[in-house]
C-alpha cells in the first residue's frame, strides 16, 4: 500500500505535461504555431523532447525567423513547447 501511494506521489509530482509525454506514444497530437506572434527565441526548439520544432527559413511581419513544426507523427501533446513560449504562440491539440 505504501508503495502504491509512493508511486502516485511520484506520478503527481512529474506533472501533467510529463505524464502526457510518457503516455504520448499512443496519443498522436499536433501543434499550431502563430507565426506572427513568434519572435524566434528558440526556447521551444530546445524544449521539445521530440526535437520536432525548428527555426524556419522565412520571416514574419515583425522581421523574425519564426519556428516551424516538423509533423513526423512523434508529437506527444506534452505541451512543454506551449508552456515555455513567452509569446503564447503555440497551441497544442491532443487526440483522445
Ligand atoms: S507538444 Fe510541443 S514539446 Fe511536446 S512533443 Fe509536441 S511539439 Fe514537442
Ligand atoms: S518559444 Fe515562442 S516565441 Fe520563442 S521561438 Fe518558440 S514559438 Fe517562437
Instruction: Evaluate: CB of 92 within 6 angstroms of ligand 2.
Output: no
Report DSSP state, residue 24.
Answer: G
Instruction: Quote the ligand 1 centre to 56 CA distance (angstroms).
Output: 16
pLDDT tens over the chain, length 96 residues: 655 555 554 455 555 555 555 554 556 799 999 999 999 999 999 999 999 999 999 999 999 999 999 988 899 999 999 999 999 999 999 976
| pTM for this prediction | 0.76
Please name which ligand lies nearest the alpha carbon of 94.
1
| Structural domains of the chain, count | 1
Q: What is the CATH number of the domain that holds 9?
A: 3.30.70.20
Instruction: Give the structural domain span for 55.
Output: 2-94
Query: How far is residue 40 from each of residues 21, 50, 55, 65, measured CA to CA in Å?
Result: 24, 19, 7, 5
Pocket test for ligand 2, best of 32, 36, 42 (most atoms within 8 A of CB): 42
Q: Could you tell me which residues come within 8 angstroms of residue 61 by beta carbon, excluding any fewer than 6 positions away?
A: 36
Amino acid at each position: 500500500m505504501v508503495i502504491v501511494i509512493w508511486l502516485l506521489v511520484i506520478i503527481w509530482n512529474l506533472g501533467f505535461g510529463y505524464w502526457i509525454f510518457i503516455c504520448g506514444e499512443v496519443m498522436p497530437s499536433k501543434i499550431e504555431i502563430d507565426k506572427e506572434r513568434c519572435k524566434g527565441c528558440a526556447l521551444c526548439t530546445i524544449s521539445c523532447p521530440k526535437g520536432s520544432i525548428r527555426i524556419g527559413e522565412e520571416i514574419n511581419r515583425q522581421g523574425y525567423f519564426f519556428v516551424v513544426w516538423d509533423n513526423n507523427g512523434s508529437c506527444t501533446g506534452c505541451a512543454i513547447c506551449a508552456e515555455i513560449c513567452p509569446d503564447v504562440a503555440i497551441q497544442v491539440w491532443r487526440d483522445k
